[in-house]
Amino acid sequence: MEKKNITIYVKVWRQEDANTKGRFQTYTVEDVNPDMSFLEMLDVLNENLIKNDDIPIEFDNDCREGICGMCGVVINGTAHGPKSGTTTCEVRMRQFKDGQTILVEPWRARPFPVIKDLVVDRTAFDRIMSKGGYISVRTGGVPEARSILVPKENADQAMDMAACIGCGACVAACPNASAALFVGAKVSHLGLLPQGRPEAKRRVDRMVVQMDEEGFGACSNHGECEAVCPKEISITAIARMRREFLKAAVG
Amino acid sequence: MRFSMSLFSSIGKKLFMGLSGLMLSGFIVVHLLGNLALLNPDRDPFNKYAHFLTHGLGNAIYVAEFLLAAIFIIHIVYAVAVTWGNWMARPVGYAKVTNAGGTSRKSIASTTMIYGGVLIAIFTVMHLYHFKFGEVIMYTTKDGQQIRDLYAVVYQFFGNIWNTVFYIVVMLILGFHLSHGVWSAFQSLGLNGRRFTPFIQGFGYVFAVIMGVGFIGLPFYIYFLTGGAQ
């Protein structure tokens, strides 16, 4: 069945740089193929803007297949758009109706200042990672399977936590702009495996201090982060981070 | 990080919120059980219980009152500090916020904890003024004790429709506060697991309903079923 092309109104946040006040501007994009991705629709809009000698809309993107964590905007009030378990680049135009106005905003958080339009500075995450989101020694190649025993459950959970792509949707969706799910995922993914244990206390301590210093809010257990996370990371990660943090604080 | 500093981290603050919240939840359970004596048409058991608390425990009651006040204050001070920090974390808000749904537990209750909390705090002060520091009517029990008739003060108070409505509304808000607060406290303490979390989420709701209905029940019963002052 042939699909009819649709017309979309995009109400998008335009902001020249971090120090300029931004505002919303509405653009009309005609003849949108419903099978286009959301970002392709923005590409078409940008081409039109360039043709008209306007400044194109800046937005972050890279792999466009949901694995790099680069893209991310708030679409109609939800981080990464209305569908759960997906990134912004996985949003398709068939999810919208003909003639619909789509509201597009950047991630909003003090530690994520807007660089331009929809692009925000997420180096706060990198600074948190630099405080302990790694293990300091080379662990070498794959060891003989039974030399270090890892319970299957731990391995599975560690993999679930390692799925975090650091996109920042958890912060964007959190009513408190808390980074607890991101830090929780990093602390959990390393802490669940034997290679990550020796540095576990130091890691959680330093990462939490950095998280607070960046100015992220505190976690109120709303669970919005889990619901918008493209990798569907559970808030059990946050509880694990808290346990690890308290253990570290005591000892 | 020094241990004392850990207590002021984002995680430490929530730890205090959770612990103090659970202690306050424990307190209201005892309070509700005490209230049940007001359903008794005989005023002596309730008045004797109240008299025992204020006069029968010696100085222990002052220690208990001090601790309870301290827990209240810790809960309030940390709540204000945490909420202020959360507001500061997003200086520019969204034009539109749509709840993600799915596994999210965001609710009216979870997003209004500070407002409900402030209201309950104001209510608590008024509540002490209404009863603890309220009118003192002395009477003689059946076995000849000369003690305060708090029972009469309560019945007189809830003979007024506006007092009754006010208490019912605030207790409804307390129920909402608890519906997010109880399970959230455990999550803040790091107690989350495959077996435990579904249980405590369900328990939190049941607890909130029991407390809400329980505390609403008394003013409702007095005003609508007994007609107030006897």
Domains in chain B: how many in total?
1
Spans of chain A, pLDDT less than 70:
1-2
Pair (A110, A131) in one structural domain: no
Looking at the structure, do residues A182 and A209 belong to the same domain, yes or no? yes
A79 and A127 share a domain? no
User: Has residue B230 got a pLDDT over 90?
Assistant: no
- Of A93, A116, A139, the domain-final residue: A116
Q: What is the mean pLDDT of chain B?
A: 94
| Residue B95 predicted with pLDDT over 80 | yes
> Measured at the alpha carbon of residue A227, what is the angle toward residues A223 and A231, in degrees to the nearest 5?
120
**Domain CATH for A46:** 3.10.20.30
Kindly report the nearest CA distance between residue A99 and chain B, in angstroms: 19
Q: How far is CA B99 from the centre of its chain?
A: 28
The residue of chain A with its CA nearest to that of B5 is A249
Q: What is the H or E stretch that residue A47 is in?
A: helix A38-51
Residues of B in contact with A205 (CB under 8 A): 1, 6
In a domain, B97, yes or no: no
Q: Is residue B100 part of a domain?
A: no
Q: Note whether residue B118 is domain-resident.
A: yes
Do A132 and A112 sit in the same domain of this protein?
no
- What pLDDT shows up at residue B5? 82
Secondary structure element (H or E) that encloses residue B97, with its range? none
Contact yes or no for A227 and B101 at CB 8 A: yes
Instruction: Using CB atoms, pick whichever of B89, B96, B104 lies closest to residue A217.
Output: B89
In the block, residue with structure tokens 């694990």 = A240
Please tell me whether residues A127 and A224 are part of one structural domain.
yes
- How far is the C-alpha of B170 from the C-alpha of A154, rounded, in Å? 45
CA distance B15 to chain A (A): 9
A212: tokens are: 């607070």
- Most B CBs within 10 A among A242, A245, A246, A250, hence the mutation to make, goes to A242
B112 touches chain A (CB under 8 A): no
* Tally of domains in chain A: 2
Residues of A with CB below 8 A from B4's CB? none
Residue A1 falls inside a structural domain: no
Expressed as residue numbers, the domain containing B135 is 3-88+107-226
Q: Are residues A172 and A232 in the same domain?
A: yes
Same domain, A134 and A160: yes
- Res A148: pLDDT: 87
Does residue B93 have a pLDDT over 80? Answer: yes
Are B38 and B151 spatial neighbours (Cβ–Cβ below 8 Å)? Answer: yes
- Is B148:B49 a contact under the CB 8 Å cutoff? no
pLDDT of residue A56: 97
Give the pLDDT of residue A140: 81
Assess whether A241 and A147 both reside in one domain: yes
Question: Would residue B95 count as lying in a domain?
Answer: no
Tens digit of each residue's pLDDT (9 = 90 or more) over B3-23: 888 889 999 999 999 999 999
* Residue B110, pLDDT above cutoff 80: yes
8 Å CB contact of A250 and B3: yes
B96 is a domain residue: no
User: What pLDDT is attached to residue A119?
Assistant: 98
CB contact under 8 A, B192 and A223: no
**What is the distance between the alpha carbons of residues A177 and A168, in angstroms, rounded to a whole number?**
10
Domain of residue A159: give its range.
123-250
Choosing from A75, A91, A116, the residue where a domain stops is: A116
Task: Indicate the residue among A86, A116, A146 that finishes a domain.
Answer: A116
B93 touches chain A (CB under 8 A): yes
A110 vs B89: CB contact, 8 Å cut-off?
Answer: yes
**Could you tell me the CATH number of the domain that includes residue A210?**
1.10.1060.10
Hey, is the C-beta of B2 within 8 angstroms of any chain A C-beta? no
> How close A83 gets to chain B, by Cα (Å)?
9
Measure the CA–CA gap between B102 and A155, rounded to whole angstroms: 26
Here the tokens at position B230 are 């006897």
The pLDDT of residue A139 is 76
CATH of the domain at B113: 1.20.1300.10
Same domain, A101 and A170: no
pLDDT band at B229 (very low <50, low <70, confident <90, very high): low
**B99 in a domain, yes or no?**
no
Q: With bands split at pLDDT 50, 70 and 90, how would you rate the model's confidence at B166?
A: very high
* pLDDT at res. A1: 58
Enumerate the residues of chain B whose CB falls inside 8 A of the CB of residue A180: 10
Q: Distance from first CA to last CA of chain A, Å, rounded?
A: 65
Task: Enter the tokens of residue A129.
Answer: 């990672």
Chain A interface includes B177 (CB < 8 A):
no
- Of B220, B214, B213, residue with least CA distance to B32: B214
Who's near B204: CB < 8 A, 6+ residues apart? B178, B179, B180, B181, B182, B183, B184
pLDDT band at B1 (very low <50, low <70, confident <90, very high): low
Test mutation, A206, A222, A240, A246, chain B, max B CBs within 10 A: A222
**A128 and A102 co-located in one domain:** no
Examine the domain organization and report whether A58 and A153 are in the same domain: no
pLDDT > 90? residue B217: yes
**Best interface-test mutation with A: which of B9, B10, B82 has the largest number of A CBs within 10 A?**
B10
A-chain residues near B100 (CB < 8 A): 78-79, 84, 173, 224, 227-228
Residue type, B108: I
**Contact (CB<8Å) B192/A24:** no
B82 touches chain A (CB under 8 A): yes
Indicate whether A209 and A229 sit together in one domain: yes
Helix (H/G/I), strand (E/B), else coil: A87 = coil
Domain-located, residue B93: no
Query: Which residues of B, range 22-81, sit inside 8 Å of A by Cβ?
Result: none
Closest C-alpha among A158, A164, A182 to residue A172: A182
